[in-house]
Each structure stands twice: as C-alpha cells, then as structure tokens.
Structure 1
Amino acid sequence: MAIKYWRRPRVPRSLLGRMLLLTLIAILLAQTLSSVIWLSQLRATQLQGLVTSARSLAHSMNATVTYMKSLPLAYRPLVLDQMRSMGGTRFVVSLNERPLDMRALPLTQRKQAVLEAVDQVLRQSLGPAVDLSVKFVSPQDLRIFNAGLTLDELPRSWAHFALTLEPVNPPVLVTQIQMSPGEWLYIASLLPQPYTSLEEEGLPAMQLWFIALSSGFLLLSIGVLVHWQSRPLKRLARAARDLSLGEEQVEPVEIGGGSEVAEVGRAFNTMRVRISRYLTERSQLFSAISHDLRTPITRLRLRVELLEDEALQHKFGRDLDELELLVKGALQCVKDTDIHENIEPVNLNLLLECLIEPYLLPHGNGRVTVTGRASRPFSGKPLALRRCMGNLIDNALKYGKHAHLVIEDHAHAFVLHVDDDGPGVPEQRLEQVFEPHFRLSGHQQGYGLGLGIARNIAHSHGGEVSLQNVRGGGLRVTLSVPRTAD
C-alpha cells in the first residue's frame, strides 16, 4: 500500500507574489462574508414576502370556500361546470366524495412556511375543528376529480393554464377541505410570481461579476503599486550583493520609491562610501605594517648573528622566527581574503581539475577522487574560489591520506563536500579550527589560516564553510555558495 505524504503548499517567494496572494485571500474572505450576510438578508426578505403571498392566497381560498358554502347543494356542481366552460379561474376547483391520495413533495423551509401560513389562515376563518389537508404535489403526481385523473388526461382549458408554467415545472399547492359528510372541496393552485418555483436563489450573476471585476481591479492596482515600490529595493539588493562580493566600483543606488525606501537607499550610499574608505585605509595600513616590520626584524636578525653567546643567539633567533611567523600569517590572511578581482563566470569543473591534477595517478598515487560535476558556470572571483577550494583540499590531505570530493549543483546553490580519512575534529573544536593560527597538532606545518581564509572567501560570496565528523572516522568539509549572482 503506497503511503502518500502531505506536501506543504508552495508560497510565492517574491514580495509581489506574496502581496498578491495575501490580497487575494483577504478579498475572497471579505467578499464571501459580505455575500453570505447579503444573501441571508435577501432570503429572509424573500421568505417574508412568500409568507405574505401565501396568506393572501389562503384568503382567496377562504373566499371560494365561503362562496361554495353559500350555494345550495344542487347548484354547486353547476357553478363549477360553468366556471370550467368559461376558461376557469386561478384555482382548479372540484367537489369530490373523498380526499384524493397524492404523494407530497419533501418539505423545505419555504414549503413548510407556506403550508403553515395557509393552514393558519383557513383554520382561523373556518374554525379550528375543520378537517382539511394542505400539501405540495408535483404536476406528475397531481390527481383531479373522483376518478383521480392526471393533468394530461384533462382538456387543456380546464386546468393546464392554471397549473402549468412552461418551461418551469413548479409544485402545485393542493388544499382539500371537508364541506359536509361525503363532500370535499378540492382547490389546486400555483403560488404567485415571483415565488412560483419556491427555489432559494443563489448569488445573482451580476453580483458574481461585481466580485470578480472588483477583485481583478484591486489586484491589478496593488500589483502595479508593489512593482513600483519594489524596483528600488531590487536595485538596492543588486548593489548590496556587488558590494559584498568585493566589487571595487559600486555605483551609488538611485534614490526612488516611497520615503522609507528612499531613506534606505540614502543610508546604503553612505555606508558604501564609508566601507570603501575603510577598505582603502586598511590596505594602506597593512602595506605600511609590512614595510615597517620587515625592516627592523631583518636588522635584529643581523645583530643576533653578531652575538658571541650561542645560547642567547638561539633564544633571540627563536623569538624573531616566531615574530616573523606572526607577521607573515597576518599579512597572508589579509592578502588571501581581500582579493581585488572582478566577478566573472567561472568554470568550476576546470578549476577543480587543475587543483587535483597533481594528486592524480600516476604521480599522485590517486589521493583525490571526484564525484559529480557542475552543470553550468558560477559567477564569482576566480582566484578567490581557487584559493578557497585549494585550501580545503590541502587541509584534507594534510590530516588524511585521501580526499574525496562530492559535487552537488542545485538550481540555487553550488555545494562541494571534501571528505578525508583523517582523525576528524573533536566536536567542541569544530568552530575553533576556523580561528587564525589555531592548529590541532602543534607539529603541523603552516600558519593555521587555511580554513579561516576559506570561510572568509565563502562569506564574501554569500556562502558558508561547515565541518562535520563522519561516522567511522574522517571529516567532511562542506562549501556552499548561492547562485544568486548568476
């Protein structure tokens, strides 16, 4: 038996789509509520008018009963024959020896209200003890006269004009009243317009057209408004993305839209100027530091060489090596993470092939294997991405014998998993290894900057580098960068 899983409905991602969806839901709820209230009031008004018409019809029936009672018994059939020969009246009236048995239609609220109104009026006029029956009968089940004739068996001039309304097939109200023992007055009629069919009408077509047109115009106006206001936001997002990717020349954002959006644009332009000034000053600062520190370190190293005490010379040399290591590490960190490149399409497959070529057979002993390929180029900084991925591969081979690269290229992101067979990283140090100069093993070569530089480059592309220990040993380093800039 197949198990069906419930899927969460997809919600539009754009501001325009979400605004239109929310507006459409609000319109439908408001129109539905107002239509239900309006329709309930309309039906209540129609029901009140129906009851009034039924009471008027009952009074007419009562007048017929009173008139027939006023006639001598011998005259009553003659009067009825004369009425039929003249074309009949709004009622089909006959005198029967017994009440005719006919199948009544199922009761609805409107039919029940009519029957109660007619029964109440007749009993008030004729007395509560009168024997009568009131029911609705379909034209097919209608029976007339003692013989129980159907409507089609009678001459058209006798009953068809009073009890049919083509093409509608309305129910017939049949009232049978006992005049005296063995004599029943039979009265059949239709309800007056507009209550002939007794059907509850739904929303009129004009009302439905009004709802559809008003909803369409409202959605159109809101769509134009949101599109108009979202254009400055799109320009701001594009400029912010270029700035985050290190573009040297980011044009000021054009101010537009509402006052709030315009204020955001002005704030972004101010921030852009400050960040550009800060980056320039930082580059100049580190250049000065590099020049100022290398010269005294070199001078001190020459002076150490002149010392006669070898033990003291060794101590000074060790301190100078450590100082030089720190300076080189800091400068390399700045150099590797602040790469001034233009963003361009990068062939990730070719980039990875160049990185792993030294480790392939026969000279590299097959230390690196690759699974998967990138489906299309990625928009980014070529040298920065090369250094980022190269650091991840070097880190895997530094702590393990082999590295396995798994490429997952999705519609919105490029993901690279680098798995090694090394000892892994303690869970409490998974984030600490990204810090500058941190190394799990003191005897490992390098400055301890590789993973930190790789993460900084990933951040500059809007992505992330994360670590996860693999069951059975080893570490998985995952590089994920979005394709928002493609």
Structure 2
Amino acid sequence: MNWKKWWPTSLMARTLWFTLLAVFLAQMIATLIWYGQSKRRDLEGLDSAAASMATMFASTVNFFESLPLQYRHIVLDQIRNMGGTRFFVSFNEEEIRIDPIPVSRMKNTAVQAIETVLHDKLPRLDVIRVEFSRPETLHVLSNDILLSDLPRSWAHYTLSLEPLNPPILVVQLELAEGEWLYIAALLPPPYTSLEDEIITGQQVMFLLFITALLLLFTYTMIRRQTKPLRQLADAANALSMDIYQPQLKEEGASELVTATRAFNRMQQRLRRYIDDREHLFSSISHDLKTPITRLRLRAELLEDDSKIDKFNKDLDELEMMVKGALQTVRDTDLHENLVQVDLSEMLRSISESHNREQIRVHLPEVEIAPVAGKPLALKRCLSNLIENGVKYGQTVWLDVDDSSDAVVIRIWDQGPGIPDEKMDSVFEPYVRLAKDDEGHGLGLGIARNILHAHGGEITIRNLKQGGLEVTLTLPRLMD
C-alpha cells in the first residue's frame, strides 16, 4: 500500500492532522492519568464498602446462630412476608452452585475484602464461599431453583435494581455439616455494577465534541493565516510564466508580511532588469544597422573586387547575426496574458499551413484539454519544431499523452537526425547543421526558451529506424 498518496500535502491538512494527533495523545495521557487516580479511589472505596457489608454479614450469621434451630425458619418466613430485608437469607442443606461473572479487578477486590473480614469475624467457620452471579443465572434455595422462580415479594426488592440488573453478591457459609447459610445482596452505590471501564460513552461524546470544536477553531485560524501564504505561492508560480504580475497585498502574520514585501521587491527588480536589458539590446541591435550600411557603401568604393567580396561576406554574416538577435528577442518576447490555449486547434492550424504535395503532418485523433499558457509563444514553439521536421523529413507524425499533470507531445520525422556529439549544441544560438542559407540556427533555442518559460522541458533523440524524435512536456501548473 502506498501510504504517501494518503499523506496530506497542504499546510492546512497537515496542521489539522497534527492538531488531531496532538489532541488525541493529550486526551489519552490525561485519560490514563485520570483513570489511574480514579480507579485507585474506586478500589479503596469498594474495599471499604465490601468490608462494611462483610461486617453486616457476620452480624447476620451471629444473629441466626443465636436462635434455636426450630426458630430460624420461622424468623425467615416472617421477614419474607414483611417484604424482605437488605439481604436475601436462606438455610440450605447443600452448597448452591453459582455461575460466576468474569474475573475483573473490581470483583477480586470485593471478594478479597469480604473473605478477609468474614474469616476475621467468624474464625470458627472453616468454609466461606464468596462469589458474584448474574441475576438471570442465580440459583437460590437449591440447585434447581432460579431467582426468577421465587415470588416477587421474597427477593424482588432486595436483589432487583431494574433495568440495570447488576451482579449479585452471594456468600455461603457452612455452619455445620449439611447446614449452609446463604446470603445474597447488592453492593451499595456507586459500586453496584462493578464496572471497570476506562472511559464511559458520555465521556467519549464529550471528548469528540471538544476535539471537533478545537479542530474548527484551528481550521479557521490556519485558513486565515495561510491565505496570504497561498497567494504568495500562486504569485511565485505565475511569476515563472509572466514577470508582469500585480504586486501582492501585504497581509497576515509578520513573517508573511516580510516574505510578501521581499517578493514584491524581487519582482520589481526582475522586471526592471528585463526591461532594461531588452531595451539596451534592441537599441544596440538597431544602432548596428547604420554602421553596417555605411561599411557596405565604403566597401563599394574599394578597387579590389576580391576585397569587396570579403567585406560584403563579413558584413552579411554580421547583419545575419543582428537580425537573428532581433528575431530572438521578438520570438521569445512573452508579454502575453495567460489564457486557456486549445492545443488541438493550434496543431491543426499549424499542420494545415504545412500540408501540401509530398509533405504531410499527421496529427493524433485525440483531443487535448485546454492548458494555461501564452498562445503566440506556444504557437512559435510548435511551429519551429514542426517546420524543422517538415524541412528535413518531409513527413511528420505527432503523438499526445494528455494527463491531469502535464501534456506530453512527441514529434518525429524521417530526416537524417542529429549526430550524437551535437545533441546539446543544437540548442545554442546560431548553431546550424544544414549547409543552406535558410534560417539562423535559432529555432530549437527559441522553442526551449518558450517551454522553460512555461515550466516545461524539451528533449531530442535519434530513432533507431531513422529520423529525429522531439518530446515536449508542458505541465499544467496554472490550471
């Protein structure tokens, strides 16, 4: 299982998850501390209550033992006819079988406390049985009679606490051979149920409510604090594609205000630097045309034709470099607004301009979802690459892999390809492999610059069957 895809990536989600984890751990630690202290107090209270009940059991035993044998049952009948007492008492000829409840710390504490007191108060008795049983499985009077079989007046008010029906404490003492005293009773509140829960349902609901309330406040606070940070991230992303972005509003925490102010200053300096560089470069390129023209006129005044040809050749190369520089500035000028570009329609338009006799551009049949970009720049990029394929290979094929993250366009032809040792140098300005005079060796460099400005990349490789493959990756960073 790839757990990383479930791991939160945003600051908001991570903060909420860590807050939830911190609250959970804090509540767990507090609950364990509270449980330990509360349980110690409960056990001490239960031990005291059980010892007090055992003392009353011992008094009951002493009372009945003081009566003559023939009067004991008469007294019991009178007590039952009166509605019973706090305890249910009976004399049996055998030990009654008890179905015990599961062992717990609370049960063991109560049983141990009662046995200790009874053995201390009644040292003459050798056999003392102490156990807890559920009301529905409690046997009384004999092993064949259940508590539910008795008349309600005999034990209902003594051993019933509907609808809770807590466990019943049963003490059996062997007074003599074939004579057992049976005492059943309920523990006093709050130990009636012998519950050993770490946390109750009401406490769980309270903790969930507190946690939800804390997460709501945390979400509101973090969302308000991260809004300027999200705007700063979006502006930095947009800056990579368009330097001419409006300045950010300085808001939020002091650290965010400082970061926003620094970002605005950086953007302003970059804008000034690019504007000054383009203005200077354009001015130099434009001003060079005048001395070039002047040198041509002076070269015509030379009497040696060979020198004239050499001068003109050098001037042609210089003029070509100046024109190429101007073209580079013009073709990589990205002063456009970002819009949703329909690449499918753009590719169809470019292919139609090249399709003619013996030259074909084969497009894929898939439709490309619109991508955020600068249409004129992207069209220059794709036109340069397809034009190169048509020029050197005549037939060009395109394939598109469109995903939610990026658009990958593969362009390949049947041309001669590029020597491996020149794979990197072809992107440099004025590097041309063809021997003709068409072009200035700027197409691939311009295409790469445009893709880089869009956050993309371009790679080239020679195909085994011949031809060149160009792969363009255009991310959907701004969708």
TM-score, normalized by length of structure 1?
A: 0.86
Q: Give the whole-Å Cα distance in 1 for the aligned partners of 2:174 and 2:9.
A: 75
Distance between the aligned counterparts of 2:474 and 2:457, measured in 1? 7
1:296 alignment partner, one of 287, 291, 295: 291
TM-aligned CA deviation for residue 458 of structure 1? 1.8
Aligned to 2:152: 156
Q: Give 1:448 shift.
A: 2.9
Bigger shift: residues 301-310 or 50-59: 301-310
**One-letter identity of the residue aligned with 2:26:** A
- Structure 1 pair 80/475, CA: closer, same or farther in 2 (3 Å)? farther
Between the aligned partners of 1:70 and 1:419, the Cα distance in structure 2 is 114
CA distance, structure 2, for counterparts of residue 166 and residue 383 of structure 1: 84
Give yes or no for the alignment of 1:270 onto 2:270.
no
- Cα separation, 2, equivalents of 1:9 and 1:40: 39
Question: Cα offset for 1:423?
Answer: 5.8
- Spell out the pairing of 1:67-86 with structure 2 (5 A cutoff): 67-86=63-82
Q: What pairs with 1:444-455 in structure 2 (closer than 5 Å)?
A: 446-455=439-448
Structure 2 residue aligned with 1:375: 369
Task: Give CA deviations for 1:364-396 in whole Å, capped at 9, x if unaligned.
Answer: 5324333422233x4432221110111222233
1:129-208 alignment, distance < 5 Å: 130-146=126-142, 148-201=144-197, 203-208=199-204
The residue correspondences of 1:211-250 to structure 2 (distance < 5 A) are 211-246=207-242, 248=244, 250=245
Report the Cα distance in structure 1 between the residues aligned to 2:23 and 2:89, rounded to whole angstroms: 54
Q: Does 1:357 align with 2:340?
A: no
1:135-192 C-alpha deviation (Å, 9 max, x unpaired): 2222233222257422233222222221121112222222111112222111111212
Letter in 2 for 1:434: F
Paired AA for residue 264 in structure 1: A
Q: Give distance in 1, aligned partners of 2:143 and 2:342.
A: 98
Change (3 A) 1:106 1:210: closer
Residue type at the aligned position of 1:153: D
Moved more, 200-209 or 214-223: 200-209
Counterpart check, 1:287 vs 2:282: yes
Distance 2:45 2:193 in 1: 14
User: In 2 relative to 1, CA 189–455 (structure 1 residues): closer, same or farther, beyond 3 Å?
Assistant: same
Aligned with 2:364: secondary structure?
strand
Residue 412 of structure 2 aligns with an amino acid whose one-letter code is: D
- 1:124 & 1:471 partners in 2: Cα distance? 101
Residues 1:158 and 1:411: Cα distance change in structure 2 (over 3 Å): same
SS in 1 for 2:363: strand
The question of whether the paired residues in 2 share the 8 Å contact of 1:247 and 1:341 is answered with: no
- Check the 8 A contact 1:247/1:342 in 2, yes or no: no
Q: Which of 369, 372, 382 is residue 389 of structure 1 equivalent to?
A: 382
Give the alignment's TM-score, normalised by structure 2: 0.87
Aligned equivalents of 1:19 and 1:380: distance in 2? 33
Change (3 A) 1:479 1:81: same
Instruction: Report percent identity of matched pairs.
Output: 45
Which residue in 1 is equivalent to 2:321? 326
Pairing partner for 1:415 from 408, 419, 422: 408
The whole-number CA distance in structure 1 between the counterparts of 2:3 and 2:463 is 31
| Cα distance per residue 1:235-293 (max 9 Å; x no partner) | 44454455443365x43322222212212222222223322222222222112211332
- Bigger shift: 418-427 or 347-356? 418-427
Cα offsets for 1:221-247 (capped at 9, x unmatched): 333323323333344445445544336
Moved more, 40-49 or 157-166: 40-49
- Render the CA deviation track for 1:196-217: whole Å, top value 9, x for unaligned: 2222345345533443333333
Instruction: Report the counterpart of residue 360 of structure 2 in structure 1.
Output: 366
Question: Which of 438, 455, 461 is the matching residue for 1:462?
Answer: 455
Partner in structure 2 of residue 50 of structure 1: 46
Q: 1:257 to 1:342 in 2, by over 3 A?
A: same
Say if 1:214 and 1:422 are closer, same or farther in 2 by CA, change over 3 A: farther
Aligned residues of 2:381 and 2:446 also touching (Cα < 8 A): yes
Residues 105 and 455 (structure 1 numbering): CA distance in 2 closer, same or farther, change over 3 Å? same
Q: Return the alpha-carbon distance in structure 1 between the equivalents of residues 190 and 378 of structure 2.
A: 80
Q: What amino acid does structure 1 have at the position aligned with 2:224?
A: W
Name the SS of the counterpart of 1:370 in structure 2: coil
| 8 A contact 2:139–2:147 mirrored in 1 | yes
Residue in 2 aligned with 1:337?
A: 332
Which residue identity does 2:319 align to in structure 1? E
Q: Match for residue 478 of structure 1? A: 471
Cα offset, 1:480, TM superposition:
3.0
Task: Name whichever of 92-101 and 68-77 sits farther off.
Answer: 68-77
Superposed displacement of residue 427, structure 1: 7.0
Structure 2, unmatched stretches of 5+, are: none
- Whole-angstrom CA distance in 1 between matches of 2:30 and 2:422: 62
> Is contact 1:98-1:184 (8 Å) kept?
yes
How many equivalent residue pairs? 479
Q: Which is worse superposed, 206-215 or 151-160?
A: 206-215
Aligned residue type for 2:123: G
Match of 2:14 among 4, 12, 18: 18
1:403 alignment partner in structure 2: 396
Q: Structure 1 residues 227, 137: CA separation in 2 closer, same or farther (over 3 Å shift)?
A: closer
* Aligned amino acid, residue 388 of structure 1: C
